[in-house]
Amino acid sequence: MKTEHEDVTPGISRRTLLTRAGVAAAALAAGPVLGGTQPAHAASWRVPGEEASHKRTWMAWPSSSTIWGSLLPAIQADIAKLAKEVAKYEPVVMCADGSTAASQATNACGSTVTVIGSVPVSDCWMRDTGPLFRVDGAGGLDAFGLNFNAWGENATSFYGIPASAYDKDRAVAQNLAAYAGVPFAQAAVVGEGGGIEYDGDGTLMATESCWVNGNRNPGKSRSQIEAELLSRFGASKMIWLPGVTGYDVTDGHIDGTARYIGPGVVMVQLAGAVRPDVWTRNAQAIHDVLVNSTDARGRRLEVLTIEGPDTLPRIPAGRQKDFLSSYMNWTVTNQAVITTQFGDTAKDAAAKTAIAAAYGRTVVQLNLDNLYGNGGGGAHCVTMQEPNR
């Protein structure tokens, strides 16, 4: 299946929606069920904020020509580049689909990245397919999965990629948890890790367009979905945000627009000149909700802002509207925040300065144009942190 602006076969862009009859323009969407074995006193378990100390970062090596076609080598190059950078700050374990893919990943990533071939993967989107790890404050660690279903089967309905192409990714969460030796349970909702943000201190934020959606949670109300997510994350308050439907395969994941810096502090990217109006309006709508929100502790949120790039000098004009020009899709490591740069010198520098000031950590900006452009995802989308106990 060809993407909208590239004469390649086949290849999924997670952000580009092929024109289809009947698809509307964007819409701005204005007791928990546990569903698995849980440790005693489950309320004490929580998913720590991403800025907390990590044991390691998990990633996945893309090797499917069914999914990527001729784009595969370029995507692999960006994954290897990112993995080697993360490995400067904390251990990285790369899951590869069998011995051949593992050998390929080892050659590309080098000796600083641990590659394993015993956790089968379909693709590279570990944030969406992998387990979310929880701690209990007493040395315990467990994990849960969000029942990945290829973004509501959008990969198939948008691009014609067979649903079976993602079969291994549907089981990554439990397989990885088993490899790591931690207890695991499936949540009673369907979604992706990139579709929810958590501060580790009781508050979640997510877009309704991802979760209150018949392609993931048919028949479930917002309150039912909220109760399950709060229970799983060990949180007590959800901030629901507007989202965009019908413009990208994720249905508007939050991690490209708004992120927690830490408890009580969020950052929002207000779209730069290259983003289509629908994303500009959505970013502003998310900002406006957050500035009027309080968290689980009753704190008024401190909302920091940055602006997206105004130019994409390396990207052909015909592809720019579908390019994920988000600085927000960073990955946090123990000593650094790794994000991207787009070639807009002034905006790249301003984003780097703002993120560094917010975190008090080194910020590394990489050129990941293939991953952000052809893949439509970024550094956050392809990493999953495992916290220290």
Query: Which residues, including other chains, have CB under 8 Å from residue 40's CB and lie 6 or more apart?
Result: none
CA separation for the pair 206, 254 (Å, rounded): 6
352: tokens are 């780097």
Q: Is 381 a catalytic residue?
A: yes
Dist. CA 289–CA 133, nearest whole Å: 28
Residues in contact with 320: Cβ distance below 8 Å, sequence separation at least 6, in sequence order? 274, 312
Sheet holding 302-307, edge to edge: 258-262, 265-270, 302-307
**Please, what's the b/e burial string for 262-287 (b: 16 or more CB within 10 A of its CB; e: otherwise)?**
bbbbbbbbebbebbeebbebbbebbb
Nearest to 374 by CA among 75, 63, 9: 75
Please name which of 384, 300, 349 lies closest in space to residue 132, comparing C-alpha atoms. Answer: 384
Q: Which of 95, 124, 210, 381 is catalytic?
A: 381
Q: Which tokens sit at 65?
A: 């020509």
**AA letter at 87:** A
Strand ranges across the sheet with 92-95: 114-116, 92-95, 54-60, 384-387
Contact 268/283 with Cβ under 8 angstroms? yes
Instruction: State how far the Cα of 161 lies from the Cα of 311, in Å rounded to an integer.
Output: 32
CA-to-CA distance for 348 and 285, rounded, in angstroms?
24
In contact, 326 and 269? CB cutoff 8 Å: yes
**Residues acting as catalytic residues:** 381
